[in-house]
Amino acid sequence: MKPAYLISLLVVLGLIGMVPTAAAQSRNTLVPAGHLQYAPGPIPDRVILVLAQNPESSQTVNWRTNYAVDEALAQITEAHDGPGLHLTAREVTGTTRPRTSESGLAHHHSVTFDGLRPNTLYAYRVRGQDTWSEWFQFRTARQSFSPFTFIYFGDAQNSVRSHFSRVIREAFMQTINPAFMLHAGDLVNLRRGIHGDEWGEWFDAGAFINAMVPSFPVAGNHEFVYETDEAGERTRVLSEFWEAQFSVAGNGPPGHRETVYFVEYQDVLFVALDSMRAIDSEESAIVQARWLEEVLGRKDYRWVFVSHHHPIHSVSLGRDNPALREHWMPIYQRHGVDMVLQGHDHTYGRGANVPEGAMMVDQTVGTVYVVSVAGPKMYFVSDVARQRMDRLGEDVQLYQHIEVEEDRIRFESRTVTGRVYDAFHLVRESDGRNRLEERLPTGMIERICTNPDREREDRCWQGTELVD
């Protein structure tokens, strides 16, 4: 073949190959166009522990298989040193939900282990088609207060396997016996629908960590998808994959049980709220507020953490959420909520809130508000936040390492390379008030965006340009 014909042929083949690639690829995962990476199979995958209301005696596990597995079956035993775990294991059954994505029809399973002993190491495995998962281990919580450490992540959302993996794995490497991992919403993007590949990447990023360290998932705006009715009216509804993959405690108010819930971990209260529904509907904001007030009034918890996706005080420009301040912030102040853990703004921001409602440094603080980001989508800090918040950051992937002690919370926000970016202690004084001690590391200057090649002028990184 003459060189000219060869070149022409290669050009044509190249174009044929390129056109569908460019049209089909979402640019948000590492999965090449046309490749089926995350089809469900006989071997269980996406195994994840989700915190139950009382983690000293219960533990929920979710996993996925192909549709041939129509019963949710798991085995559990107190862990021992030999391989004969099956000899002492008991079997527990649960529920199965079918879900269809681009990866095909899958069965999503859920089992809750009840009647567990506190502070005990358990081994468990889950059933596939004529096979099992590997044995995993987890430790139940203690009956009453004892110091523990948990990890909090802001949005993973984009290019999750490519860029969130490093964060969750580094956090796991650097934390001894994490009690659980809190995800403050926008775990994946889901912008145009189901996106099974995005969920595949999220579960790949956490991998076996998810099956050993329980999760406390909080829903963000990207966990909702749009449905259009016959009249063409668009409404936002929770993705059906949320409840299939995360069987949360289910103790929230009616109509909100998949996303609003609480967990009592060793006498410390953790509450997940649904800020997306609250912003879409004032009625929802009020329903959640009344429920929260009732939960907070039940008993005196040693510490109270609330998490929701949209911030009470936004860090980035043009993202104000006044409905949350109107309906929820007064409850935080009245009941002494210690910390609110948030996401959504793709920046870092931390501020204490004095009773007057302004953000400012004050030695005696009310609620401390944090916004963080784990994935690669990065926005800019607003001028208002710059005036009012104590610590800010742009263009920095973070996880939060939070040690909960009897009279002190040791809070560290760490970069993906393990450097302490922000730190403070919240100290419980003898009169019951909190005092904030700054522990900012010396020499750690505030990070600002330095990306010279921005896809959008108003964003430091889109997060989707990084996988091409």
Binding interface with Fe ion (CB under 5 A): 186, 220-221, 344
Phi, psi dihedrals of residue 211, rounded to the nearest 5°: -85, -5
Minimum distance from residue 346 beta carbon to Fe ion (Å): 8
Task: Give the helix/strand (H/E) hosting 122.
Answer: strand 121-126
Determine the Cα–Cα distance for residues 244 and 95; give it in Å rounded to an integer: 10
265/380 with CB nearer Fe ion: 380
Shortest distance (Å) from residue 450 CB to Fe ion = 24
Instruction: Give least dist CB 342 to Fe ion, A.
Output: 10
Cβ-based nearer residue to Fe ion, 338 or 345: 345
In angstroms, rounded to a whole number, what is the distance separating the alpha carbons of residues 383 and 327? 25
Q: Which of 126/378 has CB closer to Fe ion?
A: 378
Q: How far is the CB of 189 from Fe ion (least distance, A)?
A: 10
Q: How far is the CB of 314 from Fe ion (least distance, A)?
A: 11
Which residue has the CB atom at the shortest distance from Fe ion? 344
CB nearer to Fe ion: pick between 237 and 445: 237
Q: Cβ of residue 126: shortest distance to Fe ion, in angstroms? A: 31
Strand partners, 351: 369
Burial of 286 (0-12, 13-18, 19+ CB in 10 A): middle
Euclidean distance between CA atoms 202 and 167, whole angstroms? 12
Provide the 8-state DSSP code for 394.
S
Expressed in percent and rounded to 5, the helix, strand and coil fractions of the chain are 25, 30, 45
CB nearer to Fe ion: give 94 or 343: 343
For Fe ion, the closer of residues 161 and 344 by Cβ is 344
> What CA–CA distance (Å, rounded) separates 126 from 109?
9
C-alpha separations of 461 from 14, 198, 217, 344 in Å: 30, 18, 25, 14
Query: CB-hemisphere CA count at 13 Å for 165?
Result: 15
Q: State how far Cα 29 lies from the chain centre.
A: 18
Cβ proximity to Fe ion: between 186 and 267 the closer is 186
Residues in the chain: 468
- C-beta of 28: minimal distance to Fe ion in Å? 14
